[in-house]
Structure 1
Amino acid sequence: MTRKTRRIDYWQDPAAPEPTSRKPSASVFVRDDQGRLLLLKRADNDLWTIPTGGVKKGETVGQTGVRECHEETGYHVEVVGLVGVFSSPDHVIVYMHGDRVDEVRQPVNVCLRARLIGGEARPEPSEATEIRWVDPEHLDDYGIHPAIRARIDHGLTSSEPQIL
């Protein structure tokens, strides 16, 4: 299968291209009753992440997090708090179609705490190739980008929102 869109994430890389845009996104930090964290494996870069997506016109950040979680995983969640706002210029994302660069983005992400209220695992093939509930002790076994890992680590260790 040939992927139309490819994503390349840079972190603290002086060779990263200069951003051409900044766009808001929302992610959701969801744990189940056993304390496991909801992760999905992205279809565009094969890295593990928490459900995340861009804020669309006409929706709130909270609505974005709920929608993206359902679209990417099949699970229904409700927002119950804030992990933090993450906007480090150390994170740059390049979106490509074939050999052509479409966008170089410096993300602004609002990471929300959410709780599972229903649904079942149903990965959307264009978004996620796998979905797993992962014990935090095993996170090091998963390829997670440092920018995403910072959100996860903060969500696991603090109830106070972080603004970066």
Structure 2
Amino acid sequence: MARTEYYDDPAAPEPNSLVVAASAVVTDGKGRILLQRRSDSGLWALPGGGMEMSDSLPGTAVREVKEETGLDVEITGLVGTYTDPRHVIAYTDGEVRRQFNVCFRARVIGGELTMSDESTALRFVDPGELAGLDMHHTQRLRLAHFLDDRSTPYLG
């Protein structure tokens, strides 16, 4: 199933669902950031996904990183909350979602980098390479807030 992301676009379809989600900025010992190239959009993104009824938000981030990358992570902090109603995600099955995303900081504690069917590539990226990657504005915003090393989480 393919997806299209809209941001502040008057042509965006009207949302028909609201999804609580978590993502994580996972770093390695060299300060590189784990990114996936999403199979549904072709864009580079942080690992993450929707919360299940049995999850906590930090647990969602840990589970999604494991499912999408094979890595076990430990949550080490909070980057921010991302709830901008101008961000709409449309799927080919007809779902048009507003997503409430909480983005965490995390570090690798185990596992083996393994690609899932949700990705076409996985890699740790040096922060200096981020500008050259094709990614949605909302992903860049989360990364910018992480790299700013803010003393307080972004609330938006």
Give the TM-score, by structure 1 length. Answer: 0.92
What is the one-letter code of the residue matched to 2:59?
Q
Distance 1:52 1:13 in 2: 24
Distance 1:13 1:32 in 2: 35
Q: Residue deviations 1:104-159, cap 9 Å, x none? A: 1011000011111011110102x111101000111011111001111111011133
Q: 1:150 aligns with which of 141, 145, 148?
A: 141
Structure 1 residues 1-164: aligned runs within 5 Å: 5-97=1-93, 101=94, 103-125=95-117, 127-159=118-150, 160-164=152-156
Structure 1 runs of 4+ with >3 Å offset? none
Q: Tell me how large the CA RMSD over aligned residues is.
A: 0.9
Structure 1, unpaired ranges of 5+ = none
What is the one-letter code of the residue matched to 2:146?
G
Distance 1:128 1:149 in 2: 18
Identical amino acids, percent of aligned pairs: 45
Structure 2, unpaired ranges of 5+ = none
Count of aligned residue pairs for this structure pair: 155
Per-residue deviation at 1:32?
A: 1.0
Distance 2:86 2:45 in 1: 18
Which range moves more in the overlay, 152-161 or 58-67?
152-161
Distance 1:149 1:118 in 2: 26
Per-residue deviation at 1:46?
A: 0.5
What is the one-letter code of the residue matched to 2:41?
N
Distance 2:111 2:54 in 1: 25
What is the one-letter code of the residue matched to 1:108?
F
Distance 1:18 1:82 in 2: 30
